[in-house]
Structure 1
Amino acid sequence: MYSVMMVDDDYPVLEYLSASIPWKELRLEVHSMCKNGAVALERAQASLPDIVITDIGMPQMDGIELIGELKRLKPDIRCVILSCMGDFAYAQQAVRMQVDDYVLKETMRPEQIASLLRKLSDQIAAGEEQTRQLARMQSKKEENALLFRQGLLERMTADGGRDLSWAEGAADAGIDFEGKVWLPVLVAMNRWSELSRRMPDERAVQISLGQAAAGLAYELPGTVLLPHGRREAMLLFPFRRSLTEMKVESVRPFLRGLGERLSQASGICATFLIGISAAAPAALGRAAEQLLSSGAGRFYLPDEGVFTLAELPVTVEGDLHALYPEALQRIRDAFLEEDEALLERTIRDWLDQVREKRCRPELVKEWTLKILYDNQMRFLALQHYQSIFSMEVLHRTLGDIGTLQELGDWMLQFFKERMPLLGLIYKQSRRSEILRAQQYVSHNIGSKITLEEVADMLHINSSYFSRLFKRETGYNFIQYVTTAKMERAKELLARSNMSVEEVAARLGYENKSYFAKLFKKHIGGTPGEYRGD
């Protein structure tokens, strides 16, 4: 539905038009009725109409001046002059301003105005459809260009860069080797889960990157952008072979500027990794393939910045097995205490240890997933927590995380978002004494815990506490403590390389045989059988 502004200092004319035009039938609505051009311009600046019908001679601002101002605000606005002036000079001015029609008031009829408005509405609709068609054509053109360039990069890096068939069509993308050396730079877009919420169309992300990178073509003529998948791209910078300046240092400021444009325009966090320059197709293919295979090292780089291959961290085939039990317990305790500051420090400590180890990203994500999963299982064992997330969704989210920095921020946010749940969980019991007792057990799971010491901590009679705990939870207190310890034992046996003796000692059992007996009673098998020894 299009809107119509009517402007005339003769108010009966406005009332007449408002009452006599079949607005709904024409699928039009009255934008406003204004007594002069100055009032109309003020209304239009707040909200532009699609069509304006205006008188010419009005105080403060006449119709010709109003149309000129409206055309500056909206060049395609449709304008009709409605006047009692038959002077040819006004008609000439109207023609020069591309006014759509000029109607004399003394000959004006409602059906004439309605017919004119219908014609203008049809013209606006036709113009909009033409704009949509052009946009679709442009979008298709850009999509085809993206597919061609993406396919070119895939062929360039195929077979370790040894397949040179791609070079035949490279000129169509602006890549030639006559007197040139090409410097490849990988663009890695990080924090993908956040970005995909803002820009769910993956193609739009690559188009945004292309638009932001277009400025480089003016600053560094001949620059080529080749997309790779949904979150990477390759920039190729051309240099003359005779150029003696340092190529790497010359592109750094341009890459920093591109990173700022991406961040400001689209909220994209990008890491730039500068590769090895190449003067021949085979060398460029190998250099590009080396950059694309740098994902493991890039995991340990910041979310944003410009780096070279020499600055790329080297990952190792290590393990995080020994770090896991302590990290799990500390993160769990900080979460249970609802201490955000402690939780953040604990997660950062875990990540610092991970950074020092420099293990493969897949392994880091696997152990992080175990921490989240084991935390859930612990709450289920304590009857405090119901599953509120899908392991499949978690696994997919972790897979999209590109850097250790992003992993830490996401992990902290994951726990923070769930902290309010603890308050609800704690309110499920009618007695604060029971909640404090359960928290005490969780925090002291590695010690020998007696009913008397917990009752003393709560400053209540031990017999009364025993009856109260049974009534509130359905568990005998000692059974509750033993169950919690056995669940913790399962975690240690499954997730660490501790011996059975070490697990027993970790949980406050001095006698290995007694621990094994309790474990079998609760779990249905010995610790060795559970572990699969």
Structure 2
Amino acid sequence: MHQVMIVEDEFIVRYGIRSMIEWEKIGLQLTGEAANGKEALELMKDGLPDILITDIKMPVMDGIELIAEVRRISPDIKIIILSNLEDFQYAKEAIKHGVSEYLIKSDMMPRDFEQALLKLKESVGRRNAANEGAPAFQPEPAHKEKFLVDLIEGTIRGASEGSSKAGQLGMAQLHSAYFMHISLNDSELGFTERLSLIRHLLKQAWTEGSSSYEVFPDKQGEINVLFLAFMNEERPSPAGEMQKLRQWAEDFIQLLSKPSGRLATIGISSRIRKWTDVKEAYAQAVKAEKQKMFLGCGHAIIYGTDDMSMPAAAKAEHLRISSHQIQSMVYAFQSKELTEYLEELFKQLAARRDVDLVQIISLELLMILTTLWPDVSTDAQQVLELKKQYFDELSRLETLEQNRIWFIQAFDALVQHLILMYNSDRNSIIKATQYIQQYYHQEISLQSISTLVHLSKNYFANLFKKEVGESFLEYLTRIRIDKAKTLLTGDLKAGDVGSLVGIQDPKYFSKVFKKITGVSPSEYRHLMREER
């Protein structure tokens, strides 16, 4: 029975690994556990395991150091590394030391983990058989994946280096190949489940002998297929080859949707002929897949087709978003006008076909939403939860149409909330006007008066103008000038009158008085005396 050792610094993770697998049932024996690399090496003095399962980030001695030491002790031990998706760079370093499999902790499912163990158990069996006289070279899947990841990241630059490494891994030479980037849309599957599902269905979909392919995840966790096209058939024309590939991709999308209804989008690169073209082909396939933003999900999209072009007229237009205009429409309860504004905005985005621009505009709209809600709600916890909900929902949107509908509904919900608040908060505005009429001679700011009536400053300012018909400052100034007119009929000096109504600077008082009445304080007094 093959022996397995677990190295993981978190007890709960070790316990989970130990509990999720029926070890004896699959022909494996769990012989040791360690909390770091140093402890694991101590245990190995009593005997080496056939399979080592290790975390990457650990205290004392991390997984990469442990793997390097293990490889010096024995090149035959099969190694599974556990990591978080953001630790992919560490995983790549570990792969250099001959790791057989790597699994993402957060997505790790029992059946996927069991499959990985069974595959390594079979590999150990073949190795033992080879040692008994049946030599066979079986490159580890992780070695191929590392090679392909190095290609798409540009680590391998020379054509000869690419061909040499491909040959060492038993991979066919490139003559006519294509890169496919597969995205499962709105999928709740974890990384490992998605990879397992696509690999399983690829085996069903591929016609044996017609071509070959390599499947691997990129550092974002998306699944990619390097398709070595139609090698053993009579070669069709380039256009015919591309049409055949598109048809296969569309059939595969249908196959993916059958068991669960999940939609997938596949971006397809232009033809490549050498290993060093893989990096550019990957970028093309990713760019093509992103066009689902405009074309919708569930399509095979080929890079460089007319579907991806941006009209020249759209390029010439300068797209702007006015946060002030949107806020004004929200506070004025102009739902219809706001919807029309958003419709026109998304119409322009559709014409431009620029995925990055859609993301920028969506982020700006989200910022406006999350800025307005704290101004119109007194429940801070509710606002925080709503912000989390917004970010979560927006991260799941994949097409421009989904974004358009979502933002129209989100802003409409905000306006409806404001309408409900308006009736209850009108009394607060009445209270504010009464306070101003009584204490106009004191220093009153927008911040102080909004705090007095328990409303946010921005919300109060907009609500005040809607209810009173003029801004807070205009209303306060008008009240002060009206009071000053009364006082100027007496014998007080104009400067003293200004101080008595709350305007301390005589020059400023005179300027404001003349702006509102059309005459200076002294001229006004003279006119009043003449009338009497």
> What TM-score range do you get, normalising by the shorter chain?
0.3 to 0.5
Q: Which of structures 1 and 2 has the larger relative contact order (alpha carbons within 8 angstroms, sep 6+)?
A: 1
TM-score, normalised to structure 1, is 0.46
TM-score, normalised to structure 2, is 0.46
